[in-house]
Structure 1
Amino acid sequence: MLFPSKTFSTIVGLILLVSCFSFISTQEETLSATEKAALEEFKLKILPKIPESSYVHKFAKDDLYLINWLRAGNWKVKSAMDLLMKHLEWRENESIDTIEKEDWANVIKEFPVFFDSVDKSGKPIIEVWFAEWQTRKAVLAGRLSTLSRMTTLAMESTSRKIWESRAEGKNVTQMIFLGELEGASVIQHMCPACLPVYLTMATNMENHYPYFVNKLYLMNMPASFDIILRLLKPILRASTRETITPYVNKDQWMKVLDETIDKNQRSVRFGGTIVRE
C-alpha cells in the first residue's frame, strides 16, 4: 500500500516520537518511587544553578546525567548537589569546557590514547596504550600535569560522545575502556613516581565521570601491574571495581572484543583493522 508523501512523513514522525517517549519512560520505570522523588527534587534544585554558558548545561536536563550524580551521592539529594557543584567548580578552574580546543597532537603521539570509535551497541571507546607511555621519564621531567590532563581529555571527550548520542535518540549510557599493557615494566610504568598518574585518572573517573564506564579491560596485564590495581581499588566504587577485567594473554581477550566491538572500530593491537601511527 502506498501512502502520499505527506502522510508517510507524518507516520514516520509519530513512530520516532513514540520511540523517544518509550525510551524516556523505560529510564524512569527503572527507578523506585523514592528515587523518582529524589530525581524530581534534584532537578528543581540543581538545574537553576548550572550556568547556561557551561557545556554541562547542554545535557543536564537528561535524566540519566542527573541520575548518575544521585547514584554517586547514594540517592541523597544534598550529597548529589555537593558533588555536582564541586564538579562544576572543577570544570571552571580547569577550563574543561575548552579542553578539546587545546593542541594535543604531540602529547597523544608521545602518550597514545584514542577515543574515536564505538562498540557494536554505540558505546564510545577509549584506547590507552599504557605500555607505550614513558611514564616515569615524563613525571621526572615535571610533566605529570600534562599527562594527567590528557587522561582528563579522553574522559571528557568520550563522555561528550555519550550525551551527543543520546541527544540523537540513541540508547547510549556508558563507555568502554581498553588498556594495553603488553611490555609494561616495573621501572617505567609502576614506579612510585608513576603512581600519581593512575591515581589522578581513577580519582577523576569517580569524582567527575561517575558511572560512565561500562567495561574496563586491561589487556596483556603483567602480574606486577596487580600492585597498581590493589592501590587503586580503595578509591574506586564497588560498581567501578566490578567493571575491571584483566587479561593475561591475547587468546583470553580477543574473543570478548570480537563479540562486542567490530574490527573496524579497533586498533590493530586490539585485533582490529585501524592502523595508527
Structure 2
Amino acid sequence: MSFNIVFLFVMILFPSLSNQTSLQEDLTLTQTELEILTKFRELVKSRLPHDYMTEDIYLITWLRAKKFEIPAAENMLMEEDWSDFEQEFRFEIQGCDKEGRPVVSIPVGDWDVRRAVLAGQSDKLIRYFDKLLEEVTTLIRDAQKSGENMTRFNHIMDMANYNLRIQACPLCPPIFLSLWQIIREFLSPVTKDAIKLYGKDKSEWQTALLENIDASQLSKEFGGLNDEGFSMEEIRKLPNLKCSRYANKIN
C-alpha cells in the first residue's frame, strides 16, 4: 500500500517517543516468546475483525506492551479505550482524488503529541497511529475486494496551528522550508514525488490540491465545497469505499 503526502505550512517533526522497540527487536523472539505468541493468536483470532490483526507483527505489539503476559495483553487488545485519542488526534477522509484514490486529511497542527508523550502515553500513541493507518489500508483492501481499482491514498498534513517550539522541538529555528530543499536532494525520485511541501501561501497550496482533487471532494478549509470531511465513525458505517475516478463522492 502506498500513499502521497502533502504538507501544508511546515514539515512535521514529532518528538522522540521513548521506549520504542526497533524493527529487528520486534521480529526477534525467544522460543518461549514464540510459544506465547502462538497461544495468544489462538486465543484471540476468532474475535478479531480484520485479517491483518492475526499477523505476528500486530499481535507482538500487544504482547510486548504487557511483557508477554497473555491475560493482560488480551484485555488491552480487546478492551483498549481509544475515545480520548479519537477526540484529541482526529483525522478525516475528505473524498477522492481525480485518479480514484482516497484523500485523508490530518490536522497535525491541532495534535498535541508532546502532551501525550509527557503524560506517559507514548506506547499507546504509537498503537493509535498504527490503528489509524491500518483502518485506512483496510478500507482500501475492502474496496479492492468490491471491484475498486484502488492501491494508494493521499495524505494532507495540515500544520496551520502547529507550534514547533511548544509541541515538538524547543530549540529548532523556523527554517524548515529551506531545510526541506536540502533534505529532498538526498531522497529517491519516488519519495520526492510523493511528498509536497507548501508554505503559508494559501493560493499556492489550494491550486495544487485542486489540480488533483475536485472541489466537490474537499472541505472548504482546503478550497473545496463541503463543510467538512468524513469522520472514521461515518466511514465505518459504509458497506465499502467507492472511489473510482467517476465517483463524485463516497457513497
**TM-score, normalisation: structure 2:** 0.53
Q: Deviations over 1:154-181 (max 9, x none)?
A: 2111111221121122211111011001
Q: What is the distance in 1 between the residues matched to 2:93 and 2:223?
A: 16
Q: 2:136 aligns with which of 153, 158, 162?
A: 158
1:164–1:271 Cα change, 3 Å? same
Show the 5 A alignment for 1:45-84. 55-56=50-51
- Indicate if the aligned counterparts of 1:128 and 1:180 stay in contact, CA closer than 8 A: yes
Structure 1 residue 269: Cα displacement: 2.4
RCO higher in structure (CA 8 A, sep ≥6): 2
Q: Which one of the candidate residues 150, 155, 178 is aligned to 2:156?
A: 178
Local SS of the residue matching 1:94: helix
Structure 2 CA distance, aligned partners of 1:259 and 1:145? Answer: 38
Change (3 A) 1:100 1:259: farther
Equivalent AA in structure 2 for residue 120 of structure 1: K
| Structure number with larger C-alpha Rg | 1
> 1:120-163: per-residue Cα shift (whole Å, max 9, x none)?
33312221111111122221111222322222222111111221
In the other structure, the counterpart of 2:195 is 244
Per the alignment, residue 208 of structure 2 pairs with 256
Deviations 1:218-261 (A, max 9, x none): xxxx6437769988998x87633431100112111112222322
- Aligned position for 1:111: 89
- Give the aligned partner of residue 101 of structure 2: 123
Match of 1:91, as an amino acid?
Y
Per-residue CA distance 1:83-125 (angstroms, 9 max, x = gap): xxxx932122236xx9898643431221222246332333122
Task: Rate the CA distance shift 1:230–1:130 in 2: closer, same or farther, 3 A.
Answer: farther
Distance, in Å, in 2 between the alignment partners of 1:174 and 1:123 is 6
Cα offsets for 1:57-87 (capped at 9, x unmatched): 79xxxxxxxxxxxxxxxxxxxxxxxxxxxx9
Could you tell me which residue of structure 1 aligns to residue 221 of structure 2? 269
Give the structure 2 partner of residue 15 of structure 1: none
Partner of 2:55, secondary structure, is: helix
Distance 1:232 1:103 in 2: 39
Q: Are the aligned partners of 1:113 and 1:128 in contact in 2 as well (CA < 8 Å)? A: yes
C-alpha distance in 2 between matches for 1:101 and 1:125: 30
C-alpha spacing 1:225/1:181, structure 2 compared with 1 (3 Å): farther
Taking only aligned residues, the RMSD between alpha carbons, in angstroms, comes to: 4.1
- Residues 23-71 of structure 1: CA distance to partner in whole angstroms, max 9, x if unpaired? xxxxxxxxxxxxxxxxxxxxxxxxxxxx99784479xxxxxxxxxxxxx
* Counterparts in 2 of 1:171 and 1:267: CA distance versus 1, 3 Å: same
Count of paired positions? 169
Conservation of the 8 A alpha-carbon contact between 1:129 and 1:181: yes
Mapped contact 2:109–2:160 kept (Cα < 8 A) = yes
Give the unaligned 5+ runs of structure 1.
1-50, 59-86, 194-221
Q: Within 1, Cα distance between the matches of 2:118 and 2:181?
A: 22
Question: Are residues 241 and 90 of structure 1, via their aligned partners in 2, closer, same or farther at CA, if it must alter by over 3 Å?
Answer: farther
Higher helix share: 1
Question: Percent identity at matched positions?
Answer: 25
What is the one-letter code of the residue matched to 2:206? Answer: M
Residue number among 76, 90, 95 corresponding to 2:57 in the alignment = 90
Q: Which amino acid aligns with 1:129?
A: P
Q: Does structure 2 retain, via aligned residues, the 8 Å contact 1:125–1:175?
A: yes
